[in-house]
Amino acid sequence: MANNFSDLLLGGDAGAHLVQQIFAPDVTLARIRCDACKGETGIGALTLYAAPMGAVLKCCDCDNVLMRVADTPHGLWLEMSGALNVRF
């Protein structure tokens, strides 16, 4: 289901919370740069997919996967190889 990340986090969405809990600062204020198209957007504006298996954030412009998070009994996983960088 597609929804704006900021709205979801404010609404208490579990997938959005999964992403935020990894970062100390407010992740909705961070800016993320896509490694594929080099475009930069605010994380708050990204669309969130895939809960309950995990959280997937995709680039608004080119659909590249920017960040993925999954919470498993053996650990919390973060993968961000689709992002060039994140600026808080």
Partner 1 sequence: MDEAHISRGFRSKRQTQAAKDRLPPGQYVTTDFPILSAGPTPQIDVSRWKLALQLGGSLLGTWTWEAFETLPQTTIRTDIHCVTKWSKLDTTWQGVTFDDLLKVVGLSEPPEPYVMAHCDGGYTTNVPLADLIGGKAMVATRYEGLPIAPAHGGPARLLVPHLYFWKSAKWLRRIRFMPTDERGFWESLGYHIHGDPWKEQRYDGD
Smallest distance from partner 1 to CB 74, Å = 3
Residues in the chain: 88
Which residues, 32 to 71, sit near partner 1 by CB under 8 A? 47, 49-50, 52-54, 56, 58, 63-65, 68-71
Sequence-distant (≥ 6) Cβ neighbours of residue 13 within 8 angstroms: 3, 48, 51
* Pairing mode, strands 40-42 and 83-87: unpaired
Residue 4 in the binding site for partner 1 (CB under 8 A): no
- Site residues, partner 1 (CB under 8 A): 2, 47, 49-50, 52-54, 56, 58, 63-65, 68-75, 77, 79
